[in-house]
Amino acid sequence: MIKIPEWIINLKPYIPGKPISELAREKSLKRIVKLASNENPLGPSPQAMKAVIENLSEVHRYVDREAPELVSKIAAKFGKNPDQVICGHGVDALLGYILCAFTRENDEVLTSNGTFIGIYVNVRKLGRKLSLVPLKNYTYDLEAIGSSISPETKIIYLANPNNPTGTIFTKRQFEEFIARVPRDILVILDEAYTEFVSRDPDFPNGLDYEYDNLIVTRTLSKTYGLAGLRVGFAAGPKEIISELYKVKLPFEPNHAAQKAAVAALDDDKFLKKTLEINEKSLRQMIAGFNKIGIEYVKTHANFLLLLMPSAEFAESFNEECLNSGLILRHVKPFGIPNGIRINSGTEDETEYALEVIEKVYQKLLQVKPA
């Protein structure tokens, strides 16, 4: 009989937001709107789509393992050398490579309870020890994380803005924190949502820093609309990047993804439109939630964290919204049992979401036990 490691037996896999096609199969609904996975409501970058179509005749070829065109594009855009950048199939894949390269079984990875579930799954599937520090007002408590560093700590994971809360820590807070971290501990700074907050003067742009124990991860899934193609990159010291190439799968991102990403990074018009529709949708939502009386966390990303009266209420709320054709994200697996995450949408999607949410919320309030 095959012996399965205990940490795999006990592993709770990452379960993404319910796909539209799955909900359509389950229920007879006239309309379905998905605002669960922080996807771009505009779809993919038009320049990226054009690049994919123009390069389809080359998909029978294996890609260069170092993705030189894409790496050079990223390096030039963000002021790095190409040997400081590595690309992969999304941030999830890159987190797995970082953990594989720089930790061994039972090493400790330190982060917060109430952050990106992808880091939890990646740590646990490799049999590493995951240590979680509570959030403070739905924000990373960097002081508490610094005080929780132990001799077993090998990696600290931070997401800024944080998913699923949308909160940030400031430049001053980050610089004070990283000055405390021993140089033999690697800090991962996940900036998947940085474009939504980059204009904030208090936001610490990770790519502006050159610490020998800092690696920054970013994605093209959100602002550039490439979630289905899976493109992420990491930037850090060349010594760290070179080690990651040893454990990275050789043929990723795939050919179409690389070509799409190169083109998307030049699509400033699409990026501008994405940021504008995000701001508009979030304003609509905030006005609507204030009217309905739903609490939420102030966001710096493309989503809002709604705070339900209880975990049970949140679960029922999420299910009732699904029954009405609205797909949201119950973030209990992230560490916030009473939280529901909703991302920005088009004006029409936002209006529909608010209609459904008001109806469901009022219905559940009436049946809520005293």
Q: Residue 171: in which H helix or E strand, if any?
A: helix 171-180
Predicted confidence band of residue 370 (pLDDT cuts 50, 70, 90): very low
Query: Greatest CA span in the chain, whole angstroms?
Result: 64
Q: Distance between CA atoms of 243 and 101, rounded to whole angstroms?
A: 7
In the predicted structure, residue 21 carries a pLDDT above the cut 70 = yes
Query: How much is the average pLDDT of 75-93?
Result: 97
Mean pLDDT for the chain? Answer: 95
Residue 292, both tokens? 């309905």
Query: How much is the average pLDDT of 28-32?
Result: 83
* Type of residue numbered 358: E
Go through 143-171 and write b for each residue having 16 or more CB atoms within 10 A of its CB, e for each that does not: eebbebbeeebbbbbbbbbbbbbbbbbeb
Predicted confidence band of residue 241 (pLDDT cuts 50, 70, 90): very high
Q: Distance between CA atoms of 273 and 92, rounded to whole angstroms?
A: 26
Q: Give percent of the chain above pLDDT 90.
A: 88
Query: Under a CB-based contact definition with an 8 Å cutoff, are residues 202 and 225 in contact?
Result: no
Q: Please measure the distance between the N-terminal and C-terminal CA atoms of the chain and give it in whole angstroms.
A: 52
| Separation of CA 142 from chain center | 19
Query: How much is the average pLDDT of 208-212?
Result: 96
Report the SS3 class of residue 13.
coil
Please write the tens of the pLDDT for every residue from 294-309.
999 999 999 999 999 9
Please write the tens of the pLDDT for every residue from 115-170.
999 999 999 999 999 999 999 999 999 999 999 999 999 999 999 999 999 999 99
Q: List where CATH 3.40.640.10 sits in the chain.
A: 46-264
Q: List where CATH 3.90.1150.10 sits in the chain.
A: 12-43+268-367
Q: Where are the beta strands (DSSP E) in the chain?
A: 33-34, 85-88, 108-113, 129-134, 153-159, 186-190, 214-219, 232-235, 295-297, 303-307, 326-327, 329-330, 339-343
Query: Under a CB-based contact definition with an 8 Å cutoff, are residues 306 and 295 in contact?
Result: yes
CB neighbours (10 Å) of residue 52? 19
Q: Considering the domain 12-43+268-367 in this protein, what is its CATH number?
A: 3.90.1150.10
Query: How much is the average pLDDT of 30-58?
Result: 95
Query: How much is the average pLDDT of 78-94?
Result: 97
Q: Does domain 46-264 have CATH number 3.40.640.10?
A: yes
Tokens 């505009």 found at: 42
CB neighbours (10 Å) of residue 275? 16
State the pLDDT at residue 369.
56
CB neighbours (10 Å) of residue 113? 14
State the pLDDT at residue 368.
60
pTM exceeds cut of 0.75: yes
Query: Under a CB-based contact definition with an 8 Å cutoff, are residues 112 and 135 in contact?
Result: yes
Q: Distance between CA atoms of 321 and 308, rounded to whole angstroms?
A: 13
Residue 306 φ/ψ, nearest 5 degrees: -90, 140
What does the DSSP assignment read for 290-341? HHHT-EEE--SSSEEEEE-SSHHHHHHHHHHHHHTTEE-EE-GGGT-TTEEE
Please write the tens of the pLDDT for every residue from 198-207.
889 999 999 9
Q: Distance between CA atoms of 215 and 149, rounded to whole angstroms?
A: 18
